[in-house]
């Protein structure tokens, strides 16, 4: 469903960029790391900047940092 949401994002206006805000998928259990990484890899070609919420999103952050893409991980709502 996260991949479908990414695909449903409208294209940016000319010269614009796509920003996505993703929260961790707590329901994934033992598959959490693999599926978060999969979402991160999928988003690389579809989103320009990622904002991530929750420790479970760390595999996405690692994927994006390896690709030298801008992604930011937040642990609490205050941040």
HSE of 68 in the Cβ direction (CA atoms, 13 Å)? Answer: 0
Q: pTM to 2 decimals? A: 0.88
Alpha-carbon distance 47 to 22, whole Å?
A: 12
pLDDT at 78 over 80: no
Tens of pLDDT along 26-73? 888 888 899 999 999 999 999 999 999 999 999 999 999 999 999 999
């Amino acid at each position: 469903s996260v991949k479908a949401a990414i695909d449903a994002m409208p294209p940016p206006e000319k010269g614009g960029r796509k920003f996505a805000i993703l929260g961790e998928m707590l329901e994934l259990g033992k598959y959490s790391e693999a599926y978060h990484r999969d979402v991160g890899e999928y988003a690389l070609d579809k989103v320009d900047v990622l904002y991530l919420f929750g420790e479970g999103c760390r595999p996405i952050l690692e994927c994006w940092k390896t690709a030298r893409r801008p992604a930011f991980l937040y642990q609490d709502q205050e941040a």
